[in-house]
Chains A and B, each alone.
Chain A
Amino acid sequence: MAASFTLRGALLGVSRLRCRTPGPPAGAAGLRFVCNAGPEERRAGIIESTEEYKFVERLIPPSRVPAPPRHAGVTPSGWSPPADSPPPLPYVIRRSRMHNIPVYTDLTNGSRKMTLIRKVEGDIWALEKDVKEFLKEVTGKELPTQVNEVTMTLKVKGHFDGELKQWLTSKGF
């Protein structure tokens, strides 16, 4: 009974569709198609809502590295924040984008060990002098170094990344 009722309603709707001039899209026609069944069977139309998009938005990742939270001293992982004011030295070594000391080791030709200090600003020759003095105390040898003034980097022969990182952190960089 209900099926025949809706079928008659569907046929009526289809005939109305044919004699009507092309207007609203098929979705709206489909709506009317259902609504033609009768006023007591009228359901709500399609509602567009963007309120649930906030659940998608909170999943989209950020593109910037966040600033680390305030720590007083060394963290359990060994990381320590830079000093609030730059130390009174003629050079400055900036932190990397992940807030680490920019000292890296390099191994080329199978056995050539080098340590690279990047992101130096200011008087790089004063830094070279200080690094040579510090490594003389640590190893007892005069290590060859290479200063690149264009890229503002310092290379030292040998792997000394741990010692240099600790030394630079103690200076406040």
Chain B
Amino acid sequence: MLRYSLVICGRGVAKRFASSFSGESALPPNLLLPTNLVDPDRLKRPPPPADCSLPVLRKCDAVIPAHLSPVQTWVETLESRDSEPLGLAHLHPDVFAVPPRLDILHSVEIWQKNFKRISHANTKVRSEVRGGGKKPVETERKWKSPSWKHQISDMERRGPTSYYYMLPMKVRVQGLKVALSSKMTQDYLHIVDSLNIPTPDSQYLLDLIKHRHWGESVLIVDVGEEIPENILQAAASLNTVNIIPAIGLNVHSLLKHEAVVLTLETIKFLEDKLLWHDQRYTPLYPFKLPYSDFP
């Protein structure tokens, strides 16, 4: 995976080195490039300037604090490979421009990996080890030191152990916000008006992603269960392009996939759910029971 990403990252850079090799355009097999290389083709589209003529397709519903301004991004379309952006979208800074807390990101990622873990490693205690027991008939008595050969300490691996723990809800929410903000600032977040594509062809999706330099893996997030059939079919056979509903958004998937594509409805859903945690009371009773203004 790392070597693959090295090759992809290096492709843009290796073009410049290609002229130094005699008559070869292929990458040499023993090419070693540093991992933090940025593909220059990805930086060709800068963020929208302040005096852009395109319409603002989406403004923030929630109140933005007075000292912050909304994040502006392009809204693209998946209809054709070479289409221009349709307009701009304003994103809430408390979800998409949060300070990069790497410690929270790490703790949420480790939690997600470990809380489901049940290790089934088991060893037998001395009472369960086969053999041993009392001699049926007492033979000649000799003083012998007890043999510890088959003794097993009680402290060793014992039975299925669960590594379940829960981080506080606000920490997990902050982890999501930090992950989304990181994707935003690193130009890996793309906003799309809807997920309608003209053909259910996987190659079309791959060509689009290649042409727009989105990255090698794309996570497409949509709200609700009615996802267009074409894109479901196109992504079904691809293992680097995955579609998930918005409730399934998690830090591990955001970090695993290079690019993230959100629709406008997804952004509204995420902002509602994530910003609610900044102004909610501590739960009087569990949130799965009804409240009058639950988001």
A residues touching B (Cβ–Cβ < 8 Å)? 57, 60-65, 84-86, 92, 94, 97, 121-122, 150-152
Contacts and interface: CB of A to CB of B under 8 A. Distances in A.
Nearest to A85: B66
A122 B65 CA distance: 14
A92 B67 contact: yes
B293 A64 contact: yes
B291 to A, nearest CB: 4
Contacts of B284: 61
A86 B290 CA distance: 37
- Is the contact region of chain A dominated by helix, strand, or loop, or is it mixed? loop
B292 A62 contact: yes
A150 B67 contact: no
B126 interface: no
A38 B293 CA distance: 51
Please indicate which of the listed interface residues A61, A84, A151, A152 has the most CB atoms of chain B within 10 Å of its own CB: A61
Given A86-B67, A92-B67, A94-B65, A65 B292 contact: no
Interface stretch (B29-37, B72-80, B245-253, B272-280): B272-280
Interface in B267-295: 276, 278-281, 284, 287, 290-294
Nearest to B285: A61
A152 B276 CA distance: 22
B84 interface: no
Contact of A86 (B66, B101, B293): B66
Nearest to A66: B279
Nearest to B293: A62
B118 to A, nearest CB: 33
Nearest to B289: A60
Contact of A61 (B67, B99, B291): B291
A57 B292 contact: yes
Interface string B129-141: 0000000000000
Contacts of B51: none
A61 B65 contact: no
Given A61-B291, A97-B278, 7 more contacts: A62-B291, A63-B281, A85-B66, A86-B66, A97-B279, A150-B101, A152-B99
